[in-house]
A and B are shown apart, each in its own frame.
Chain A
Amino acid sequence: MAGQTDLNSGSVSGNSSRDDVRTHFTTREGVYKLITLAEYSRANRLSGYTAIQSQQGAALGQGSNPPVRVTFVSLPSDPSGYCDRICFNYGRELYFYTYKGTKKPADLSKPVDKRIYKGTSPTCHDINKLTISSESVMLLVGFTGGQIQLVDPIRKEIGKLYNEERIIEKTKVTCIKWLPGSPNLFLVSHVSGQMYLYSEDVTCGGPAPPTYQLFKQGAGFSVWTCKAKSTRNPIYRWVIGNGAINDFAFSPCSKYLAVVSQDGCLRVLNYDAMELIGLATSFFGGLLCVCWSPDGQLVVAGGEDDLVTVWSFQQKRIVARGQGHRSWITVVAFDPFTTLYSSQSSSSKSLSKEGVDTSVTSNGTGGIDGEVETKSSSDIATCYRLGSIAMDTQLCLWELTDDVLKQPYGSRSRASMVSGPGSPPSSLKFTGQTPISGDRSSSSSSNNVVTITPVNNLTVSPAPSSATATPVNAAGSLTQRLANMTFSDRKSGQQQEAAATDLKSHRKNFSLGSGRNSTSDRSANPSLVTGCADPLRLIGTQACPRLDEIPMLEPLVCKKVSHERLTALIFREDCLITACQDGIVCTWARPIGPSPHHTSTSTPTNEGTMV
């Protein structure tokens, strides 16, 4: 069980020897190697005491330790030269070590900070990137009992507590994040399906539970403020979906929030406007994890259907699913360092905060048939690298290529992508019977048409972009399909912005756009209109396509990398980090030599990522 140590998992019977735990794996760019000396874990975990204790833990049924999560932070400077710090939780403990990278051994005897909690266990943590200094970091920790603590592991100060008496919330904290760009605001999600915005410097009120007042309501969610004479925590309470909120993630541009829940829904919200702009569901079961692509174009979720679900921000629909894991997916993360970008100026450095940077220059024309131009940005990815880990102890790497992601919905062609190195970028080669393949490849030169994203462009409000729903196969001609992609003109954009505060007309904005024919309505996403998240009603729509209506991806790499189920995955420039349920944090060095994105901007080859 979870309480098990390395000693136990070392004595695996012959049963699982047929798929031994890997210490290296190979991708196109080379060999990733496990760096055994850079293994981080609880201090002195190999002592006999520890082993006995954790066996007892398992025997007592305390096997359901919270998953081990990892947070990295880089200090501005450090006398020793090691600026990186690693923070992870294990059982009731929280560790904060100096991370010495792939070259130097981990020193487990001297954690910077170590905390052991009584009666409650840490579940997740986050460090404020804005307020970091060499002498102080603001580390937020969420707990199984719903409490929140703000600690400074460098100053070793006993920090502030939030929801200490569990008056605001009693259920487990599932995810905690500082608001991007804020020195004091943070967001906390819980098993109860509620998410709270706290301010670090504001009181949590007295012993009386907060009284809430409805502030804003949308399809499947509501936002409440705290009724009080003076500002108190929580600032806002979000109630989202049915059942636990399992994970949430801010878009690279900080404007959007993707939330995944036990009800199987992925909800993409405009955080500040408090509007739902997209909804998709798992194939079945809860969604457990979510992440954004570095360019903000894709949202990927994983969950209890063992599938990776890829949702396109621009098309507002599920564009692909990925099958490769043998159990529930616990973390999905993009690798920004091996994701390929269309422009030569792309480098890993340019990814950081900017996110989606494309703008639409042809507002007001309605932009159809090639009249839409894009101001070419350096941030549009052409081949995404995605990583996922699961309870199956396997790490999967996926490649999401342009041509897969831009397949029309419901093409029913489980296309096998056979484009060789010589084929033009993003041209689609359908082996299936789709009637529009000719149109498609002829339009490959004007491929940018479909890569426009109105994210940062204020004149295109998010609501109408949900109306730029995607073509269905029934909508025969290319023009017809492009007509469906019309961006709203400036006027309606302004109208909608103005109306955004008005709840009534705001709901109207969720309608899926007029002038769409009935066939496209069938597959459109009814959930945004009705707020209905009933999976039965969503099956066969763009919110939950049938398996033959979208591409099913296969992983590039699928390797067993642990004895225990995996709980954390982080991509760093020179390595990737995995952690597992028994509290071992592993470092995998990337292949030595230049990574592909430094040398090549050519078309990604399709290494059988399609079924």
Chain B
Amino acid sequence: MGANASQLEKEIGSEQFPTNEHYFGLVNFGNTCYSNSVLQALYFCKPFREKVLEYKMKNKRSKETLLTCLADLFHNITTQKKKVGTIAPKKFIARLKKEKEEFDNYMQQDAHEFLNFLINHISEIITAERHQTNNSATPTTNGKVQNSKDPCNGSASLKFDGSNGSMTSTGNHESTWVHEIFQGILTSETRCLNCETVSNKEEDFFDLQVDVDQNTSITHCLRTFSSTETLCTDNKFKCDVCSSYQEAQKCMRVKKLPLILALHLKRFKYVEQYNRHIKVSHRVVFPLELRLFNTSEECPDRLYDLVAVVVHCGSGPNRGHYISIVKSHDFWLLFDDDIVDKIDPSALEDFYGLTSDVQKASETGYILFYQSRDTS
């Protein structure tokens, strides 16, 4: 471990080593790589890291939440004397297991589900704390953060949309810095094929879920995401004008692009034949630079740079391993729990997926983090 760390330092070179940057591996506490990989990716999403550290600075209250644990962890990394090394995110994992019982075991978890939970939960904590502060004229000793409900205002009712597993935040939520970073707006345009009325529905998102096709690019997957879908048979559209269920055409476009665009590749598909989820290892290439085609007319254009990739290694959702690849300054690093390696950007090619449909273990990009260029 120590040898590895010093080797990384040597490899980067003391002159090239960015000042005020630390590369610390995270200890695995038994199948916690799903958390480690996501935390590393988020740490290297600069706007997110800055906000978390800012929270740490501002927030002096002692009560422990998942956010304070995260802030402590990030703070711990940034204040290390050494440039490289290993840290045990013990407190964070312990808190995580308390917060959500699904994570309270030693089983492999889905990195995307964890990310989804984390982002929503942080935003809930911030909103709740903001309300506490507002109500602090009448001092309350509110108990658990996640139970705090504001009676006057629907509060932040962020929910996990079970239908497609996307991180959606619905309701009249308040905007937090989490929203400023990750939230975009989707607009779905539905045209009733009976009365031709077009209705628009807007939906916030924290990430986009894309289906993966063999030998395609992420650009293509995003375009398919926005391709026109015909709602028919069991899935008809309830048209307000016709006052009945009608066939309709639906098209999803991005109305507002987020600062950090998180793309979740739907690599775990339920296959009835096997009665379980299988991994789809299709080769999906992702460029270092990205622009979206599927934006609506009024959406301002953004040019994105790839900053982090959570990679799933293995043959299925409940086995295998998660690692992450991040861009820091001008080089790429691979975080594999406590191991950190500098890699050549051309090595990203190894994580596009397999062109063969034969089932075998693969190392494939699973969550991509793109950061808008105007912010860096």
A contact set with B: CB distance below 8 Å: 1-2, 4, 8-9, 11-13, 15-16, 58-59, 61, 63-64, 191, 264, 283-286, 304-306, 326-328, 391-393, 535-536, 539, 546-547, 563-565, 581
Contact = CB atoms under 8 A, between A and B. Distances in A.
Contact of B290 (A285, A536, A565): A285
B54 interface: no
Nearest to B304: A284
A304 B287 contact: yes
25 contacts: A1-B356, A2-B355, A4-B355, A9-B355, A11-B357, A11-B358, A13-B358, A15-B214, A64-B346, A64-B349, A64-B350, A283-B291, A285-B287, A286-B287, A286-B288, A304-B287, A305-B287, A326-B213, A326-B217, A327-B216, A328-B217, A536-B373, A539-B301, A547-B293, A565-B283
A1 B290 CA distance: 24
Nearest to A546: B301
A391 B358 contact: no
Interface residues of B, number: 28
Contacts of A546: 301
Contacts of B215: 326-327, 391-393, 565
Contacts of A392: 215-217, 220
Interface in B157-213: 213
Nearest to A566: B215
B350 A61 contact: yes
A264 B214 CA distance: 25
A343 to B, nearest CB: 39
A565 B287 contact: no
Q: Which 10 A/B pairs are nearest by Cβ-Cβ distance? A: A285-B287, A304-B287, A284-B291, A326-B220, A13-B357, A327-B217, A326-B216, A285-B289, A284-B289, A327-B216
A305 B286 CA distance: 10
Contacts of A563: 355
A567 B9 CA distance: 38
B268 to A, nearest CB: 15
B44 to A, nearest CB: 21
B219 interface: yes
A565 B217 CA distance: 12
A191 B346 CA distance: 10
Contacts of B373: 535-536
Interface centre among A15, A304, A393 (most CB of B within 10 A): A304
Contacts of B283: 391, 565
Contacts of B290: 284-285
A284 B357 contact: no
Nearest to B291: A284
Nearest to A63: B350
Given A285-B288, A393-B215, A536-B374, A327 B355 contact: no
Given A4-B355, A61-B350, A306 B220 contact: yes
A547 B288 CA distance: 20
B303 A565 contact: no
Interface of B: 213-217, 219-220, 283, 285, 287-291, 293, 301, 303, 346, 349-350, 354-358, 360, 373-374
B301 A306 contact: no
B301 A564 contact: no
A9 B356 contact: yes
A9 B354 CA distance: 11
Contacts of B346: 64, 191
Given A284-B291, A285-B289, A16 B220 contact: no
A63 B355 CA distance: 10
A4 B358 CA distance: 11
Contacts of B219: 305-306
A264 B357 contact: no
Contacts of B293: 547
Contact of A16 (B217, B354, B357, B360): B357
A581 B352 CA distance: 15
Nearest to A393: B215
A169 to B, nearest CB: 16
Contacts of B220: 306, 326-327, 392
Given A304-B217, A392-B216, A393-B215, 4 more contacts: A1-B354, A11-B358, A284-B287, A535-B373
A333 to B, nearest CB: 20
A284 B218 CA distance: 13
B304 to A, nearest CB: 8
A16 B357 CA distance: 9
A218 B216 CA distance: 37
A286 B287 CA distance: 8
Contacts of A327: 215-217, 220, 285
A196 to B, nearest CB: 20
Contacts of B360: 59
Contacts of B354: 1, 58
A581 B216 contact: no
A305 B291 contact: yes
A1 B358 CA distance: 11
Contacts of A306: 217, 219-220
B257 to A, nearest CB: 13
Contacts of B355: 1-2, 4, 9, 563-565, 581
A305 B218 CA distance: 10
B184 to A, nearest CB: 18
Nearest to B374: A536
A174 B286 CA distance: 20
A563 B356 CA distance: 9
A339 B373 CA distance: 41
Nearest to A15: B357
A64 B293 CA distance: 29
A64 B356 CA distance: 14
Contacts of B216: 326-327, 392
A326 B221 CA distance: 8
A536 B305 CA distance: 12
Contacts of A564: 355
Contacts of B213: 326
